[in-house]
Amino acid sequence: MKRPQLVEEVLDDTMMVVWQTAASFRGTSKLSTWVFAIAYRKALKARSRWPDPVEDLGRDTQVSNDPAPDGELERSRLRNALTSAMAGLSAEQRAVVDLTYFHDLGYREIAEILSCPVDTVKTRMFHARRRLKQALSGTLAEWL
């Protein structure tokens, strides 16, 4: 989700559902998996209401705490390359990559969150990695 207001709305909605339905948590999965599943469904609903993303122009003007300007430039280039490469993925592929690499979840937990079979998660990850490798093949070699 690229709209900060929408992210806040989804977070608020997620916490409201968790608060209201806490008694219905059966304990058949981790609590974090249950909360992620709620958040994922809320994000899908919010995205369908606001399909056009708005770029966060303030992201590029943030002041860095890093004293080395060339290091910030390299990180900025890498961040931009990864952001554009991730934008080329489908929403389902982005969700799988994000949950795997940024939230350290396993395929079974991701499958439960996304309400799909584990093999579907594996297939999405396979295609996402392939697309990312193609998108980043020439881009990252300059900075690594």
Report whether 84 contacts 138 (CB < 8 A).
Answer: no
pLDDT along the chain (144 residues), means of 10: 79 92 87 90 84 61 63 75 85 91 90 94 94 78 48
d(CA 103, CA 101): 6
pTM: 0.55
Total count of residues recorded for the chain: 144
Instruction: Please give the class, per CATH, of domain 68-144.
Output: mainly alpha
Q: Where in the chain is the domain with CATH 1.10.10.10?
A: 68-144
Token look-up 């060339």 returns 70
